[in-house]
A and B are shown apart, each in its own frame.
Chain A
């Protein structure tokens, strides 16, 4: 019997619970007797949830716990002398036996796995059946207990509401806890990094060359972890060049769409613009690396400016294009939120449309626009594909857009790809960079949302 069947079975029990609870509640809902606290459906749902939720929770926990229980019971059933002494080899053997028992492989490396497989299979079967049995018992017990509680005065509605709230809370906690877990692990690795490299050097050093010699006699074995060139490259591409492109274009397109475009045109163009935001960034990356970068290099060569194939300008321009929808949709929202009365007031004073936009609408919408720009910046500095493909790896500290710079995200990818040991400062540096990136984007997002919210309150 598979896990799927048992889930169906429990749901079936839930259905039966629902129907019988409803029947019972209907019986005491008959007119004449005092009005019950809750309508029959609430009683029905209460019993059904009682039958289903604890049983499913148990199954989830069981499926996690039983793997190690199975391993343990197998080890207990075999003479330890027959097993490899090395824990790694023992783990491999067990994994192979498990794969064999599951039918995932046919021929194990270690012939001994073949002997273990039947034992494994029986252990697994035993634990599966035990789990299923307990789950069904729980479903019966909890459902039956809930069923006996039903009475006209039983507050089933309140309980159901509370259970539903609990389920929703659990769902939102999953996302939050996962995020916290990620942050904690990044933080932990960063602390390890900062025990090897001083935070001051990391945050203020101008020299970035994380390569660490593999053999002690190689030159430059220490590596340099001054991340300022990376921060600069990130800001230069994401917050300067990209914004020089995205702010004017985004703002102007929003102004056109909200103030000038006919409704029919707006209906078509706005979604198309928003689709731009859904294009996978790797596509932009190709565009930057294969089309824009060579064009910029050719242009630079023609005009005699020294330049490299991978330029800050190419990555920044394409990033700017990618960001346009963010800026324009935020600006669009804030412009549309400026009350029509404001516009009418200005037009009635004899202001032209563009005067009205320049002197009344844009200033009134400015906080929202600024919030949008900050969100866009935080998006741009966290963006990876475009810069990996088009920005280059040289950690230059330069303001020349034709030169190659590198960014935080590019370096993280560099540091973590390939065979790496997880205890060298080179690898750990990636986590420190990630932490800085996380903190900066978090701050930007918080400020941006504050600004936008404050502004929204002003008009509602």
Chain B
């Protein structure tokens, strides 16, 4: 086990300023698809109070790294993960870690809204049912209502909870997916380009939602949109060719990047 306070690699930027204990830590993570290395020695801390943005050119491994944080790469037969990733100090790749529990604690929202072909209510109730979070119908109703409210969708759907989730607009579907993730009361929410399939108005709604959720959940968001990263995040990590080039305060990264590669990328001269 690596000492949490001293990152083993010089490249792994330590958390800026004196912060409370990180929610998740990654040290020396490598990911391979077959023989091809997609992530090379990545170390990062994610904090509960912050929104962390991953930016970088296409194919640099943002999604791959994000998916190591809730072990979604387990579902890819060829993927192999090395290194040390911890949630509240617990090794999530340890034998004793149950992925079902892990994914209840680390939720995920995907690039394309993917509601199940079930009713709106059943979509949100899906996670609580699997994890047995509600004793009875009344409790389930409460959970569903609370989750939809937090996702800012309640007012739009409260009269048609039995309609199919797939009948909503794209932006509503994405908020439904966020409600679905929130319903199991996770500690971390991973979002992989959650707005890339949405129009600007729906995007603004999701960004607003991320603002509101901040503090309650640690949020990690992958985005291709520099303005979005600047607007919603407190910390930004710049990925390039499977490694983190620079990680720090969002304001610092955007106003005063240390690396020329970062600077080229955010000013649009690259990728």
Which residue numbers of A lie inside 8 Å of B, CB to CB? Answer: 262-263, 339, 341-352, 355, 359-360, 363-364, 458
Q: B104 to A342, Cβ gap below 8 A?
A: no
Expressed in whole angstroms, the minimum distance between the Cβ of B252 and any Cβ of chain A is 32
Q: Contacts A349-B180, A350-B101, A350-B104: A360 and B116 contacting too (C-beta < 8 A)?
A: yes
Chain B, Cβ-Cβ closest to A348: B108
Q: Provide the residues of chain B in CB contact with A344, threshold 8 Å.
A: 72, 75, 110, 114
Expressed in whole angstroms, the minimum distance between the Cβ of B65 and any Cβ of chain A is 15
Q: B116 to A345, Cβ gap below 8 A?
A: yes
Expressed in whole angstroms, the minimum distance between the Cβ of B147 and any Cβ of chain A is 12
- Starting from the known contacts A345-B177, A348-B181, A351-B100, 5 additional A-B residue pairs (CB-CB under 8 Å) come to A344-B72, A344-B114, A347-B103, A348-B108, A352-B100
Alpha-carbon separation in the docked complex, A345 to B77 (Å): 17
B102 within 8 Å of A by Cβ? yes
Q: Provide the residues of chain A in CB contact with B181, threshold 8 Å.
A: 348-349
Across the A-B interface, give the 6 residue pairs with the lowest CB-CB distance, nearest first. Answer: A350-B103, A341-B114, A348-B108, A345-B114, A350-B104, A349-B127
Chain B, Cβ-Cβ closest to A350: B103
Q: A350 to B102, Cβ gap below 8 A?
A: yes
Expressed in whole angstroms, the minimum distance between the Cβ of A337 and any Cβ of chain B is 12
Q: Contacts A341-B110, A344-B110, A345-B177: A350 and B127 contacting too (C-beta < 8 A)?
A: yes
Q: B70 to A346, Cβ gap below 8 A?
A: no
B143 within 8 Å of A by Cβ? no
Q: Provide the residues of chain A in CB contact with B184, threshold 8 Å.
A: 349-350
Chain B, Cβ-Cβ closest to A359: B126
Q: A348 to B103, Cβ gap below 8 A?
A: yes
Q: A342 to B116, Cβ gap below 8 A?
A: yes
Contact of B112 among A341, A346, A352 (CB under 8 A): A341
Q: Provide the residues of chain A in CB contact with B100, threshold 8 Å.
A: 350-352
Q: B130 to A363, Cβ gap below 8 A?
A: no
A-B contact pairs, 13 of them (CB 8 A): A344-B72, A345-B110, A346-B116, A349-B103, A349-B107, A349-B130, A349-B180, A349-B184, A350-B101, A350-B102, A350-B130, A351-B126, A364-B117
Contact of B117 among A348, A355, A363 (CB under 8 A): A363
Q: Provide the residues of chain A in CB contact with B131, threshold 8 Å.
A: 350
- Chain B interface size, as a band, is 20 to 34
B99 within 8 Å of A by Cβ? yes
Q: Provide the residues of chain B in CB contact with A458, threshold 8 Å.
A: 117, 166
Chain A, Cβ-Cβ closest to B105: A350
Expressed in whole angstroms, the minimum distance between the Cβ of A75 and any Cβ of chain B is 74
Expressed in whole angstroms, the minimum distance between the Cβ of A457 and any Cβ of chain B is 12
B118 within 8 Å of A by Cβ? yes
Alpha-carbon separation in the docked complex, A346 to B101 (Å): 14
Cβ < 8 Å to A, chain B residues 148-195: 166, 177, 180-181, 184
Expressed in whole angstroms, the minimum distance between the Cβ of B160 and any Cβ of chain A is 19
Alpha-carbon separation in the docked complex, A363 to B112 (Å): 21
Alpha-carbon separation in the docked complex, A349 to B130 (Å): 8
Q: Provide the residues of chain B in CB contact with A345, threshold 8 Å.
A: 110, 114-116, 177, 180
Q: Provide the residues of chain B in CB contact with A350, threshold 8 Å.
A: 99-104, 127, 130-131, 184
Q: Provide the residues of chain A in CB contact with B108, threshold 8 Å.
A: 348
For A342, A343, A345, A359, which residue has the most chain B Cβ atoms within 10 angstroms?
Answer: A345
Alpha-carbon separation in the docked complex, A244 to B180 (Å): 37
Alpha-carbon separation in the docked complex, A360 to B127 (Å): 12
Q: Provide the residues of chain B in CB contact with A263, threshold 8 Å.
A: 77
Expressed in whole angstroms, the minimum distance between the Cβ of B108 and any Cβ of chain A is 4
Q: Provide the residues of chain A in CB contact with B116, threshold 8 Å.
A: 342, 345-346, 360, 364
Q: Provide the residues of chain A in CB contact with B103, threshold 8 Å.
A: 347-350
For A342, A348, A458, which residue has the most chain B Cβ atoms within 10 angstroms?
Answer: A348
Expressed in whole angstroms, the minimum distance between the Cβ of B177 and any Cβ of chain A is 7
Chain B, Cβ-Cβ closest to A339: B114
Alpha-carbon separation in the docked complex, A352 to B130 (Å): 9
**Would you give the 0/1 interface string for B87-119, flagging 1 where the beta carbon is closer than 8 Å to chain A?**
000000000000111111001101010111110
Q: Provide the residues of chain B in CB contact with A364, threshold 8 Å.
A: 116-117
Expressed in whole angstroms, the minimum distance between the Cβ of B269 and any Cβ of chain A is 33
Chain A, Cβ-Cβ closest to B100: A350
Chain B, Cβ-Cβ closest to A262: B77
**Would you give the 0/1 interface string for B122-148, flagging 1 where the beta carbon is closer than 8 Å to chain A?**
000011001100000000000000000
Expressed in whole angstroms, the minimum distance between the Cβ of B164 and any Cβ of chain A is 10
Alpha-carbon separation in the docked complex, A458 to B117 (Å): 10
Alpha-carbon separation in the docked complex, A346 to B118 (Å): 12
Alpha-carbon separation in the docked complex, A263 to B108 (Å): 27
Q: Provide the residues of chain B in CB contact with A342, threshold 8 Å.
A: 114, 116-117
Q: Provide the residues of chain B in CB contact with A349, threshold 8 Å.
A: 103-104, 107, 126-127, 130, 180-181, 184
Q: B72 to A347, Cβ gap below 8 A?
A: yes
Chain A, Cβ-Cβ closest to B180: A349
Chain A, Cβ-Cβ closest to B78: A263
Alpha-carbon separation in the docked complex, A344 to B184 (Å): 16
Alpha-carbon separation in the docked complex, A289 to B108 (Å): 57
Q: Provide the residues of chain A in CB contact with B115, threshold 8 Å.
A: 345
For A343, A349, A359, A458, which residue has the most chain B Cβ atoms within 10 angstroms?
Answer: A349
Expressed in whole angstroms, the minimum distance between the Cβ of A264 and any Cβ of chain B is 10
Q: Provide the residues of chain B in CB contact with A363, threshold 8 Å.
A: 117-118
Alpha-carbon separation in the docked complex, A363 to B117 (Å): 8
Q: Provide the residues of chain A in CB contact with B70, threshold 8 Å.
A: 348
Q: Provide the residues of chain B in CB contact with A348, threshold 8 Å.
A: 70, 72, 103, 107-108, 110, 181
Expressed in whole angstroms, the minimum distance between the Cβ of B63 and any Cβ of chain A is 11
